[in-house]
Amino acid sequence: MVEEVAQQPSRNLSRRRRAPGGRRLRRWIIDRDTPFDARWRFYTDDHAWHTSAWFAGRHRVMIGYGCNASPWYDHDPRCPGREGFHHGIDVAMPCGTPLFSAVDGVVLDPSEPGAPGSAYGVHPFRIRTGDHDILIGHTIHVFVRPGEHVHPGQRIALAGDSGAPDGCHLHFEVRRAGGGLSTAVDPAPWLGLS
């Protein structure tokens, strides 16, 4: 299911329509005071507003981990139909939303193995914690430097849309330490959405 977010002053309505291929589209009309990005598209049935130690405020998941119908990913043989595989969790949030570390770890140098590519934006970075690397993507500003030790509650970056055609959001991914994209695991336990 794809959900588009649009703004219409002083209305809180919901309309349903069909997308090509017969999939249901839900277009949410939200109050003008609610922060949003017109580029957001939600490829999940999760309509909850979540909190996490990793970000300020309450926000919705745009794209979950695993198979999904988002147009940003090529077909993956693990997925049904023409779906692609998303290796992280994307959480929709306004550009400039503060991001925090929720772990003790070390910021990795971009030259170390497993460095993210340009699809993660201009300022992606990884935090090594134990035997996993946490990758933060699409930021517009990073407050930490390679080699720096980070601690829970420390401000590390600002969410953005760098390298993201689908608007401002946090891309949160977990990989085996030093591993590439193929070592990504479900990041939900680390993200700790509530």
Same domain, 145 and 90: yes
Confirm whether 147 is domain-assigned. yes
User: 172 has which bridge partners?
Assistant: 89, 136
Q: What is the pLDDT at residue 35? A: 64
Q: In this predicted model, which residue has the larger pLDDT, 26 or 99?
A: 99
One domain, residues 10 and 101: no
Q: Is residue 41 in a domain?
A: no
pLDDT at 10: 27
24 phi and psi angles, rounded to 5 deg: -75, 135
Helices (H) and strands (E) in the chain, counts: 1, 18
How do residues 135-190 score in pLDDT, each as one tens digit?
Answer: 999 999 999 999 999 999 999 999 999 988 889 999 999 999 999 999 999 999 99
pLDDT beyond 70 at 28? no
Domain count, the chain: 2
- Judgement on whether residues 118 and 182 belong to the same structural domain of the protein: yes
State the average pLDDT over residues 52-72: 94
- Do both 64 and 29 map to the same domain? no
Considering the domain architecture, whether residues 26 and 113 belong to the same structural domain is answered as no
Same domain, 115 and 142: yes
Same domain? For 23 and 100 the reply is: no
Contact status, residue 88 vs residue 171, Cβ threshold 8 Å? yes
**Residues 97 and 57 placed together within one structural domain of the fold:** yes
In whole angstroms, give the CA distance from residue 30 to residue 63: 20
Domain co-membership, 174 together with 143: yes
- Structural domain contains residue 25: yes
Q: How many residues does the chain have?
A: 194
- For residue 88, what pLDDT band results from cuts at 50, 70 and 90? very high
112 versus 175: the higher-pLDDT residue is: 175
For residue 43, is it within any domain?
A: no
Q: Is 105 among the domain residues? A: yes
pTM greater than the 0.85 cutoff: no
In a domain, residue 40? The reply is no
Residue 27 covered by a domain: yes
Q: Do 1 and 68 belong together in one domain?
A: no
Reported confidence tier of residue 86, pLDDT bands at 50, 70, 90: very high
Structural domain including 4 reads: 1-34
Statement to judge: residues 23 and 117 lie in one domain: no
Look up the CATH number of the domain holding residue 148. 2.70.70.10
Look at the block and give the residue holding tokens 């430097």. 145
Does some domain include residue 10?
yes
